[in-house]
Structure formats: structure tokens, C-alpha cells
Amino acid sequence: MNRPMTSLPINNQRGAILIIAMIMLLLLTVIGLSSMRGTSLQESMAGNMRDSSLALQAAEAALRKGEGIVSEKFINNTLDTLDAAPLAGTYSSFPGVATVPAYNITLLAKLRTSTEAGTAIDDEGAVVRVEADGYGMALNSDNSAASQIKLRSVFLVEQ
């Protein structure tokens, strides 16, 4: 016995699958765009963190250079040159920054002691402040450094 083939009526299909597929594509597009935005934001934050870290390293290098100069001046007994005016300088050996790191050395006080009456008082030490400015690699629209770090140390050099 042969049964006649029945076909589905055409007017029962209303396109519901097409609408569901379009909604799913829209959701996938929104998810993709939001993940791209999040990734872009994280990349920007990582770049800013790197630039800030570079500025800190540059300031630390300039600070150490200034402290080294103070130690040399103390060993060579030439700290008197700081009496007139603070000494400013740069650390030009630091690569990859927008502006060369700089330091400023200021003599705060000299230490003089003597236990004998009537004897000359020699300098036995000094209190010195070293300030340093470090800059990152990124530039603002006005060509100034985007990241800047200032460090300061106050220390005692003595015999």
C-alpha cells in the first residue's frame, strides 16, 4: 500500500528562526565589542603603568647620581662649593625618556664638633638634600612628558 506523501503547508512557516538568529548575532556583536573595549582599556593602563615605572627609574637613577656626587665632594673635601648655591645637574646616560632626568643638591648644614677648648673646628660631616626629577617616554599634546616623578633624599655624610 502506497501512502500518499503529505507536504507541509507553506503558510505555517513564519520566519521565527531568522529572527532568533538575528538576535543571537546581535548579542554576539555586543559581546565582541565590549571585550575589544575592555582589552583596549587594559592595554592603555599597562602603557601608562610602564611609563610611570620608567619615570620612577629615571628619577631613582638621577637621585643616585646626585648622592654619588655628594660622596665624591665629601671625600675630596670640596663640600664648601655647595655653600654659595645648590648644585644642579642631569643624568644624561638614562635612555628612552622624553626629558633627561635631573638632580639638585643642597647643603643643609655642616657638622662641626670639638672636645678641646681653643682648637680649630674641622668639618666632620654634612647634612645634604638631593632632589631628582624623572620623566617617562610618553608625551602630552604640548610635547611635555606625560609622567613625572619627583624624589628627595636627605642624608648625612660624615668621617
User: Residues 99-145: pLDDT tens digits?
Assistant: 899 999 999 988 877 667 767 666 678 899 999 999 998 888 898 88
Rounded CA separation 80/73 (Å): 9
The three cell numbers locating residue 98: 622624553
pLDDT beyond 70 at 6: no
pLDDT, residue 73, reads 87
Q: What is the mean pLDDT of the chain?
A: 86
Enumerate the domain spans of the chain.
12-158
Residues in Cβ contact with 51 at an 8 Å cutoff, skipping those fewer than 6 apart: 136, 137, 138, 146, 147
Say whether 112 sits in a helix, a strand or coil.
strand
Report residue 151's pLDDT band, with 50, 70 and 90 as the boundaries: very high
Measured between its terminal Cα atoms, the distance across the chain in Å is: 119
pLDDT, residue 7, reads 63
Main-chain dihedrals φ then ψ at residue 44, nearest 5 degrees: -65, -40
Rounded CA separation 38/103 (Å): 39
The model carries a pTM of 0.73
